Amino acid sequence: MVDKYSTISTEIDKELFLTEDTLRFGIEAMFFAYRGFTLDPDKILEKYGYGRAHHRAVHFINRCSGTTVNNLLNILGVTKQSLNRVLRKLISDGLVRSDIGLEDKRERHLHLTEKGFDLERQLSEAQRRRMYSAYKKAGLDSVLGFRKVLECLMDDKVKAQFDDLLEQ
């Protein structure tokens, strides 16, 4: 069966590629790609009684070890109440350690414990395998184009945060 999008990737008119069908395909493909990207980690998280918010917190605490709660709030773009709920669970379960700041006692610096590192490795490995496979199938030019599209989807503030993260 041929669907109405089947020619999009091969016969796009170079001058008219921003059609309603092409844009709808991109939107729907993003939804389904995200489902695939989160499928394996969701299965792992379910075993622990965690959700995607816990995954994001663990990922960025690992990526920015010692980050403050306020910085993590900025990275994740969530409310303080939402993050506190997630952090309380991760701390009480022994995955995250919260240290008082040396210079500013009001700051809390976050670190993964060994148990937290183990969970983060499981989650990241599942996503790395999927990304590796997709990148390998798509090829370098497609990967570079995909990266460009992702960066163009970010608004200026988020793009600046992403760039800052890449510099760390």
Domain boundaries, the chain: 32-167
Mean pLDDT of the chain, nearest integer? 90
Task: Give the C-alpha separation, 68 to 122, whole Å.
Answer: 24
Task: For residue 121, give the nearest of 46, 63, 52 by alpha carbon.
Answer: 63
Position 159 pLDDT exceeds 70: yes
pLDDT attached to residue 1: 44
User: pTM of the entire structure?
Assistant: 0.85
For residue 96, with 0-12 CB atoms within 10 Å meaning exposed, 13-18 middle and 19 or more buried, which class applies? buried
pLDDT attached to residue 100: 86
Q: How confident is the model over 129-144, as pLDDT tens digits?
A: 999 999 999 999 999 9
Task: Give the C-alpha separation, 50 to 86, whole Å.
Answer: 9
Q: How confident is the model over 2-50, as pLDDT tens digits?
A: 455 544 555 555 656 778 888 899 999 999 999 999 999 999 999 999 9
Task: Give the C-alpha separation, 113 to 91, whole Å.
Answer: 9
Task: Give the C-alpha separation, 168 to 161, whole Å.
Answer: 11
CA dist 58 → 31, 68, 135 (Å): 23, 13, 24
Q: How confident is the model over 94-126, as pLDDT tens digits?
A: 999 999 878 888 889 999 999 999 999 999 999
For the structural domain made of 32-167, what CATH number should be given? Answer: 1.10.10.10
Q: How confident is the model over 55-82, as pLDDT tens digits?
A: 999 999 999 999 999 999 999 999 999 9
Amino acid at 119: L
